[in-house]
Structure 1
Amino acid sequence: MNTIALVGRLTKEIELRDVGEGRFVTNNTLAVRKTFKKEGVPEADFIPFVAWGKRAELLEEYCSKGDLIALTGKMQSRSYKTESDETKYVVEMVVEDIEFIQKKAADKPAQEVTTV
């Protein structure tokens, strides 16, 4: 079984890329708090994710750096070659569902929307 659910904050602004034929993609990272603190300071895991199509468009439209969101999806691993012929390996979450929980700034109302 390959299912993952995460709640965390976006680490950077959403950048939507058009990959042709009307398809869009975005890559970002979710900071997920750990349940323990190191020397009284909360720590986080930083989980890379990719969202395609309408999900990518919704993230760009409604989310900003620091927003708290919930993502469900699956993990995937892939590799690619760099220009210097070096093989790079990537493990990332592929987003299947999004829930907008809370905007970072206190003066912005929270969006609670679930999409498929």
Structure 2
Amino acid sequence: MSILNNSVRLTGFLGSAPEIKVTENQKKFAKINLATNNYRRNDNGERIVDTTWHHIVLWEKQADLAEKYMYKGSKVALEGRLSNRYYTDADGIKRYTSVIIVNEVDILTKKEQN
């Protein structure tokens, strides 16, 4: 079962267009925010939607795909690994964040050709 270490699978919708960047070493990456929804009923029987936002990073060829085919509202399925990072914000406060580094992506909503 060691192959299941640090594995994340998500299907959700992009909250905005991919943010494309290039590192100092000329490696392209895309940052996206992915929303996943969980549904439940409250005590009155009303349907409640709980949305969770995930920070996602795609590298090189996957970043090219994100740039070309993904847009706000795109539905994607992805598999990757969880990476936890610390950083210091503009106010000097140490922050902690979790990012999913993508290994595989399937774009379920294609960008319409103009």
TM range (shorter): 0.7 to 0.9
Give how far 1:20 is off.
2.4
5+ long unaligned stretches in structure 1:
110-116
Candidates 48, 60, 68, aligned match of 1:61: 68
TM-score w.r.t. the length of structure 1 is: 0.79
Change (3 A) 1:42 1:51: same
> Pairwise mapping of residues 75-94 of structure 1 onto structure 2 (< 5 A)?
75-94=82-101
The number of residues matched between the two structures is 106
Residue type of the alignment partner of 2:13: R
> Pairwise mapping of residues 1-116 of structure 1 onto structure 2 (< 5 A)?
1-36=5-40, 39-103=46-110, 108=112
Comparing 63-72 with 39-48, greater Cα deviation is found at 39-48
TM-score w.r.t. the length of structure 2 is: 0.81
* Runs (4+) off by over 3 Å: none
Give how far 1:101 is off.
0.8
Secondary structure at the residue paired with 1:48? strand
Secondary structure at the residue paired with 2:61? helix
5+ long unaligned stretches in structure 2:
none
Q: Distance in 2 between matches of 1:10 and 1:25?
A: 16
Comparing 84-93 with 35-44, greater Cα deviation is found at 35-44
Change (3 A) 1:84 1:6: same
Amino-acid identity (%) = 25
Secondary structure at the residue paired with 2:16? coil
Larger radius of gyration: 2
RMSD of aligned C-alpha atoms? Answer: 2.0
Change (3 A) 1:62 1:37: farther
Q: Distance in 1 between matches of 2:66 and 2:24?
A: 19
